[in-house]
Amino acid sequence: MNEAQGELVNLFAPCLGAYSPRTLRGYMADLAVFIEWCRRARWTWLPADPLTIASFVDDQVSRYCISTIKRRLCAIAFAHRVRDLPSPVDAQAVRLAVRRASRTKPSRPKQVGGLTNAIRLKILNACPKTLAGVRDAALISVGYDTLCRSSEIAAMRVEHVTIGSDGTAMIIIPRSKSDAAGNGRVAYLSPETTTLLKRWLEEAPRRKGPLFRSLHLGRVSDQSLDTSSIRRLIKRATKRAGLDLSSRLSGHSMRIGAAQDMLVAGFDAIAIMQAGGWKSANVVLRYVENAATKELHEKRWRSLNN
């Protein structure tokens, strides 16, 4: 551990348990870049002067996209809040530097590909009848129905699932990125997804613990799949289905694809927000914008021509 890492570990020690480990790791990685830059320039990083941060932004724009720069500014602001210091990121000099960067390198945010229902059905048809194939089919369908992130899928537990007599199921999502307090939300599974999930639970009989588990030597382990394993699982399943989409898909793709399908089907932003646990309509619209636009225009053309 180098000096900067040790400094950040001590800085964030009070935050353990209040923020997810992944969030803290992200802040630390971005702050390490800022600390190294300040040391080369022989400037103080905490507290940081607004002009120092403005110079940092001006320097970064030649090598990094604006979203990366803004993310690093969030990390700098967070470090100051931890020390109860006023945030220099809010200063006018920094705001102007960000505007300069935005005008110098305008770019649209890259959109992860959506795993829509049409893609999901092709993937399911290609899933083998093996233990891994049964698990993959259930996981992808549950992720699509619940509009969950990969981190939420990884956190699902068997005891959170209630299978109804009507062939559907209910699952509790205990915590999410936008629900740090852990109020949770309820999602429902279609009869098809419920059937796939029941088959997985029969193959991996567990009454409690992680819902989706890793496999070792063809056997179900006690360990939950982590987010990176879920991403790899999705890419493998897509390639197996003969779809040239693996480079565009991620652990968020089922969430995005389901939201796109809902928009094309005529659901409004409020309904999509409720289904996926979003807090901001702007985020929803950005998620569905790219892949759903063509379908929406086609639907409009058909409506106007009838």
Domains of the chain by residue range: 3-104, 117-300
Q: Angle 244-247-253 (CA atoms, 0-180°, nearest 5)?
A: 95
pLDDT of the residue at 244? 81
Indicate yes or no: pTM above 0.85.
no
pLDDT of the residue at 247? 65
Tokens linked to 286: 């950005």
pLDDT of the residue at 216? 84
Separation in Å, CA 286 to CA 116, 187, 253, 274: 16, 22, 14, 16
Tell me which architecture the domain covering 117-300 has in CATH: Orthogonal Bundle (1.10)
Burial 241-266 (b: 16+ CB within 10 A, else e): bebebbebbbbbbbbbbbbbbbbbee
Rg (CA), the chain: 22
Rounded to a whole number, what is the largest CA-CA distance in the chain?
Answer: 69
Listed in sequence order, the residues at least 6 apart from 99 whose beta carbon sits closer than 8 Å to its beta carbon are none
pLDDT of the residue at 260? 87
pLDDT of the residue at 76? 96
Compute the residue count for the chain: 306
Listed in sequence order, the residues at least 6 apart from 134 whose beta carbon sits closer than 8 Å to its beta carbon are 127, 196, 199, 200, 203
pLDDT of the residue at 82? 94
- Nearest CA to 288 out of 303, 301, 275 is that of 275
SS (H, E, C) the chain: CCHHHHHHHHHHHHHECCECHHHHHHHHHHHHHHHHHHHHHCCCCCCCCHHHHHHHHHHHCCCCCHHHHHHHHHHHHHHHHHCCCCCHHHCHHHHHHHHHHHHHCCCCCCCCCCCCHHHHHHHHHHCCCCHHHHHHHHHHHHHHHHCCCHHHHHHCEHHHEEECCCCCEEEEECCECCECCCCCEEEEECHHHHHHHHHHHHHCCCCCCECCEEEECCEEEEEECCHHHHHHHHHHHHHHCCCCCCCCCCCCHHHHHHHHHHHHCCCCHHHHHHHHCCCCHHHHHHHHHHHHHHHHHHHHHHHHHC
The answer to whether residues 155 and 142 touch, using CB atoms and an 8 Å cutoff, is no
First to last CA, the chain: 67
pLDDT of the residue at 75? 95
Tokens linked to 143: 């992720």
Going residue by residue through the chain, which has 306 residues, state the pLDDT in tens, using 9 for 90 and above. Answer: 566 677 888 899 999 988 888 889 999 999 999 999 999 999 999 999 999 999 999 999 988 988 899 999 999 999 999 999 999 999 999 999 999 998 887 665 566 678 999 999 999 999 999 999 999 999 999 999 999 989 899 989 999 999 999 999 999 987 766 656 566 788 999 999 999 999 999 988 778 899 999 988 878 888 889 989 999 999 999 999 998 876 678 888 899 899 888 888 888 888 888 888 877 777 777 767 655 566 666 666 666 666
- Fold classified for 3-104: DNA polymerase; domain 1 (1.10.150)
Cα–Cα distance for residue pair 208/198, rounded to 1 Å: 14
